[in-house]
Amino acid sequence: MNESFKKEAMKRILYIIGMAAIGISSCGKLEESPQAFISPENFYKTRSDAIAAVTAAYAPVRNNGFVTRNYAILGEVTTDNMFPLPNNNDRVQLDNYVHTPQNGILRETWTTFYQGISYSNFVIDKVPNIDMDGTLRDRLVAEGKFLRAFYYYHLVRLFGDLPLITTALASLDKLTYPKRSPAADVYAQIIADLKDAEVGLPVSYTGADQGRATRGAAKAFLASVYLTQKQYQLAADKAAEVMRPEYGYGLWANLADVFDIKNEFGKEAIFDAQFMSGPGGQGGNLIAFFAQENNAVGGRGFGSFQPTQELYDAFDPTDLRRTVWFTKGTDNKFYCNKWIDADAKTENQSDNNWPLIRYAEVVLTFAEAYNEVNVPVDGNLAYQAVNSIRGRANLPALSGLTQDQLRQAILKERRFEMAFEGQRWFDLVRTGTLVSTLLAKGTVNIKSFHVLFPVPQFEIDLNQNLKPQNTGYPQ
């Protein structure tokens, strides 16, 4: 590693250590470099320090791209659900599967989530030693473990083998350049963290604490992890726990209520990236990214991410989701209508949260996992679960299907129900259908190795131990 790259790596580590100690607000903007450095030895002393550290660990959840847009880019624009406005080369590359290790969106996602992991490690390592109320202290540590699992779960699915860092880096003299651990080891750590989190987190919060990680959120992500790992019985069992009445989740009867701002912390919300309108710079701009270009919504629509006509046509004409979650622009094209805020008059003033996991997904996870371990019988639990989603959409109940037919029907419901929410790419990859699906729909450049993205070249230049690059990409 040459001296300039070493200095850049040290600068980044200093930045991460400094920010973790300072405890940046989850609503604040990260500066390029800290104005002052507070060593961990001089921080993590009080209850306020502990709360500030956890607040910092939440920040990268919403900073995955400006107003979380990278979730939509990597999870939807890379699929048959959406395509980008051709004014950003990084997005166009991903849409056409000609992306390289130099892609800025991949670098931004890697860096942001590793910052989140670093912040979480400080919480997990340092907060237990603070003299404070034990119940709150244990909850804060559980939040740190949840967040570390959240960041790693996204990264391992995107990039495969990863540096597995589970301790806080206290000073530059301990700087190392970690190698990538097998994805199986990363998943084992994710599961261990989520198991600890589901024990240590509360069922719910009140007041200003609403939106923090809950026991239900830990269980919901565990169910998702088990489904991804094809541990179907564990996935079904964990999803069933989330569906118990004591957790208070449920489906809104009216589709329009699912994304209504007044229901942000309602019965279908499990864990969101949060935004708050007002003059404090804490608002989002999801509505503008999804709206028609130059539409007046939120000041000005960007038209950045547009639904494919094929997706719209794939919905049954009687499906209420096609009516409620799409809108036709003046150009006679269809646009996503899930995120609406009539009060957002200027850019970055939207109050809409971005759902990272919601109850409908858990229901469909249960349906899929249960079907994998049980022969379908009309009216069984898998049918009941998927039909609850279909019923809300005004579709008839499924019945009389083989196991494979029911499997395909459930996956189809996932596409329709979770459209635009950053889930499609992950579903196609975990079911082994990414390449065949996109080839059939005209994405001619996609290859078998595209089930992983390349490790950002900037990171490899800083840390040669990240080699070899993922298969198929320039080494």
Average of pLDDT values for 446-473?
97
CB 133, CB 160: distance < 8 Å:
no
Same domain for 183 and 42: yes
**What number of other Cβ atoms are within 10 A of residue 360's Cβ?**
24
Cα 319 to Cα 313: distance, rounded to the nearest angstrom:
11
Whether the pLDDT of residue 26 is over 70: the answer is: no
Same domain for 147 and 64: yes
Same domain for 162 and 48: yes
Q: What percentage of residues in the chain have a pLDDT greater than 70? A: 89
Same domain for 335 and 187: no
Q: Residue 327: inside a domain, yes or no?
A: yes
Same domain for 152 and 30: yes
β-sheet bridge partners, residue 354: 273
Residue range 188-219, pLDDT digits in tens: 999 999 999 999 999 999 999 999 999 999 99
Q: Residue 254: inside a domain, yes or no?
A: no
Q: Which residue has the higher pLDDT, 165 or 2?
A: 165
Of 302, 321, 352, the last residue of a domain is: 352
Q: Residue 151: inside a domain, yes or no?
A: yes
Residue with tokens 């459930």: 410
Ranked by mean pLDDT, the top range of 37-51, 267-281, 440-454 is 440-454
Same domain for 165 and 55: yes
Q: Residue 4: inside a domain, yes or no?
A: yes
Same domain for 305 and 162: no
Q: Which residue has the higher pLDDT, 124 or 339?
A: 124
Domain that holds residue 285: 275-352
Whether the pLDDT of residue 176 is over 90: the answer is: no
**What number of other Cβ atoms are within 10 A of residue 226's Cβ?**
23
Cα 280 to Cα 243: distance, rounded to the nearest angstrom:
36
Q: Residue 218: inside a domain, yes or no?
A: no
Q: What's phi and psi for 84, nearest 5 deg?
A: -95, 155
CB 140, CB 213: distance < 8 Å:
no
CA distance between the termini of the chain: 16
Average pLDDT, the chain: 90
Same domain for 157 and 35: yes
Of 454, 448, 473, give the one whose Cα is nearest residue 180.
454
β-sheet bridge partners, residue 350: 284
The 3-state DSSP class for residue 285 equals coil
Residue range 48-101, pLDDT digits in tens: 999 999 999 999 999 998 889 999 999 999 999 999 999 999 999 999 999 999
The angle that helices 215-228 and 232-242 make with each other, rounded to 10 degrees, is 160
Count how many domains the chain has: 2
**For the residues of 150-215, what is the DSSP string, one character each?**
HHHHHHHHHHSSB----S----GGG---PPPBPHHHHHHHHHHHHHHHHHHS-S---GGGTTS--H
Q: What is the pLDDT of residue 423?
A: 98
Same domain for 127 and 15: yes
Whether the pLDDT of residue 31 is over 80: the answer is: no
Of 335, 352, 369, the last residue of a domain is: 352
Whether the pLDDT of residue 445 is over 70: the answer is: yes
Q: Residue 359: inside a domain, yes or no?
A: no
Same domain for 133 and 43: yes
CB 276, CB 317: distance < 8 Å:
no
Helix (H) or strand (E) holding 335: strand 334-336
Q: What is the pLDDT of residue 348?
A: 76
Q: Residue 323: inside a domain, yes or no?
A: yes
Same domain for 283 and 155: no
Q: What is the pLDDT of residue 170?
A: 63
Q: With bands split at pLDDT 50, 70 and 90, how would you rate the model's confidence at 280?
A: low
Q: Which residue has the higher pLDDT, 29 or 10?
A: 10
Residue range 118-146, pLDDT digits in tens: 999 999 999 999 999 999 999 999 999 99
Residue range 141-163, pLDDT digits in tens: 999 999 999 999 999 999 999 99
Q: With bands split at pLDDT 50, 70 and 90, how would you rate the model's confidence at 19?
A: very low
Whether the pLDDT of residue 11 is over 80: the answer is: no
Q: With bands split at pLDDT 50, 70 and 90, how would you rate the model's confidence at 347?
A: confident
Which tokens sit at 86?
């051709």
How far is CA 11 from its chain centroid?
Answer: 28
Q: In CATH, what number is assigned to the domain containing residue 467? A: 1.25.40.890
The 3-state DSSP class for residue 306 equals strand
Average of pLDDT values for 241-255?
97
Q: What's phi and psi for 284, nearest 5 deg?
A: -105, -175
Same domain for 193 and 48: yes
CB 156, CB 138: distance < 8 Å:
no
Q: Say what the pTM is.
A: 0.92
Whether the pLDDT of residue 2 is over 60: the answer is: no
Residue range 388-412, pLDDT digits in tens: 999 999 999 999 999 999 999 999 9
Q: Residue 249: inside a domain, yes or no?
A: no
CB 217, CB 194: distance < 8 Å:
no
Of 333, 292, 338, 332, give the one whose Cα is nearest residue 309.
333
Whether the pLDDT of residue 419 is over 90: the answer is: yes
Of 352, 374, 403, the last residue of a domain is: 352
Q: With bands split at pLDDT 50, 70 and 90, how would you rate the model's confidence at 14?
A: very low
